[in-house]
Amino acid sequence: MKSSQEGVDRLFYRAPAVVACHFNPMSATTPEVDPGLAAMQMVLMAEALGLGTCFSSFFAFAVEESVELREALHIPGDHKVPFSFVVGYPDVKYIRFTARKPAQVEWL
């Protein structure tokens, strides 16, 4: 509580944008898969553009539970919100990835 009063944002880390993926379960062909694929495509594109992303399941939970938040975001009441993520320019720039052992792949 004290950190939020001091202006510390522990939910979105001062990200300038939040993306909430929502869908109508009655019109989705594969409701368990479609929103995840859409979210991942958006995250991959954002990363390719040099943006940072971070999934925020708490925000998705808040949208599911709050009628006021749904109305503010114009999300219909019959839609589900399985994923949300923040997007912004990262504070840290990595020079290289962590060294990994080569994958043990057997092609058939």
Which letter does DSSP use for residue 30 in this model? Answer: S
Tell me, yes or no, whether 1 lies in a domain: no
Beta bridge partners of 23: 80
- Cα dihedral 56→58→59→64 (10° resolution): 130
Q: Which domain holds residue 72?
A: 33-56+63-93
What is the percent of the chain where pLDDT is above 70? 96
Q: What is the mean pLDDT of the chain?
A: 87
- Whole-prediction pTM value? 0.75
Tell me, yes or no, whether 82 lies in a domain: yes
Tell me, yes or no, whether 38 lies in a domain: yes
Q: How confident is the model at residue 95 (pLDDT cuts 50, 70, 90)?
A: confident
Tell me, yes or no, whether 7 lies in a domain: no
Q: How confident is the model at residue 1 (pLDDT cuts 50, 70, 90)?
A: low
Question: What local confidence, expressed as pLDDT, does residue 29 receive?
Answer: 85
Mean pLDDT of 36-62: 92
Tell me, yes or no, whether 49 lies in a domain: yes
Mean pLDDT of 22-46: 90
Q: How confident is the model at residue 41 (pLDDT cuts 50, 70, 90)?
A: very high
Mean pLDDT of 46-68: 90
Give the total number of structural domains in the chain: 1
Under DSSP, is residue 28 helix (H, G, I), strand (E, B) or coil?
Answer: coil
Tell me, yes or no, whether 27 lies in a domain: no
Tell me, yes or no, whether 103 lies in a domain: no
